[in-house]
């Protein structure tokens, strides 16, 4: 069985932006959604946020970052997953998978 193709991925991290943000993003994506790293044309974005992160906020930021297409449930299956990191901050990953 082939892995699902990712169209969009938004990582939202609570707390300060890491010194090596590209490495941090890669580690979170590799851990939570490794298929995003091999999905042709995937759009990946990150947001650093102080305070709480909720599902509605994640969706609003995804729409702002990627446009209305990311919310098209006829084209995409959406998932939102929490993650935690070694600093105790963590955040959320919103993923839009192409429908199969």
Give the DSSP per-residue string, 21-87.
Answer: HHHHHHHHHHHH-GGGGGSTT-EEEEEEESS---HHHHHHHHHHHH-GGGG-TTTEEEEEEEE--TT
Q: Please tell me the predicted confidence (pLDDT) of residue 3.
A: 82
**66 located within any domain:** yes
**12 located within any domain:** yes
**Residues listed for the chain:** 100
Residue 73 has pLDDT above 50, yes or no: yes
| Cβ count near 80 (within 10 Å) | 17
**pLDDT tens digits, residue range 6-36?**
999 999 999 888 899 999 999 999 999 999 9
**1 located within any domain:** no
Q: How far apart are alpha carbons 13 and 28 in whole angstroms?
A: 10
Q: How many domains does the chain have?
A: 1
Q: Please tell me the predicted confidence (pLDDT) of residue 2.
A: 56
Averaged confidence pLDDT in the chain: 92
Share of the chain above pLDDT 70, in %: 98
**Confidence bin at 91 (pLDDT 50/70/90):** very high
Q: Please tell me the predicted confidence (pLDDT) of residue 1.
A: 43
| Cβ count near 7 (within 10 Å) | 23
Domain of residue 54 covers: 6-98
């Amino acid at each position: 069985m082939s892995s699902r193709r990712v169209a969009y991925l938004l990582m939202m991290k609570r707390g300060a932006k890491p010194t090596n943000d590209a490495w941090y993003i890669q580690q979170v994506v590799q851990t939570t959604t490794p298929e995003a790293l091999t999905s042709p044309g995937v759009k990946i974005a990150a947001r650093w946020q102080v305070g709480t992160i909720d599902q509605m906020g994640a969706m609003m930021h995804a729409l702002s970052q990627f446009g209305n297409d990311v919310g098209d449930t006829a084209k995409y299956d959406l998932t939102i997953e929490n993650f935690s990191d070694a600093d105790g901050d963590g955040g959320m990953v919103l993923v839009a998978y192409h429908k199969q």
